[in-house]
Amino acid sequence: MNKAFVKETDGPDADEDDIVAPALPAGSKNYMTPAGYARLDAEFNQLWKVERPRLVETISWAASNGDRSENGDYIYGKKRLREVDRRIRFLSKRLEHAEVVDPASREDTDQVFFGATVTVADQDGSESTYAIVGIDEADAGRGRIAWISPMARALLKAREGDRVSVQTPDGRREVDIVAVRYQAID
């Protein structure tokens, strides 16, 4: 293939959008638990100190082989390097603006704040437990909801025994707060 028809740039491809991540409300801090911060920091260090240098070495080697237009190692390496650099930029911004809040060190209270593990009961009596965590730590399958989610916003500042109303995709839902506790979230 003629080099005139090969797209080879250092910029991101047109079809590659920046990483889409939940946005923080304007003027708010990026609250995280210590475990969430540690996970993001470990990923950042892995990418920066291990994966990126390995990619640079591979790209360097592939470039020294000559014709780059049909060199899979070079083309894939450059693309992967752009992805890694984009993720590194994202993580460094998130970590730079992080406000680490340790729920285990919070004084015991029956009021819901960031880091609380809250047990709620539906009208039918079924109970669910949610830990209110940072937006980068949210995992609904494990009962971890971001502090900016509708459920967490409804629960924040409420107390044990209160009934709160939250708008869900299925309509308005009323839940009673059964228990509030503060513990380390792993």
Q: What domains, with CATH codes, occur in the chain?
A: 30-98 (1.10.287.180), 103-182 (3.10.50.30)
What pLDDT sits at residue 16?
Answer: 44
pLDDT value, residue 103:
93
* Tokens coding 27: 């003027």
| Predicted pLDDT of residue 107 | 85
What's the confidence (pLDDT) of residue 20? 56
Give me the average pLDDT of each 10-residue run along the chain (186 residues): 48 46 74 96 97 95 85 91 97 93 90 95 92 94 94 95 91 94 90
What does the pLDDT read at residue 21? 64
pLDDT computed for residue 66 by the predictor = 80
Q: Is the pTM of this model over 0.85?
A: no
If 0-12 CB within 10 Å is exposed, 13-18 middle and 19+ buried, where does residue 137 land? buried
CA-to-CA distance for 21 and 131, rounded, in angstroms? 20
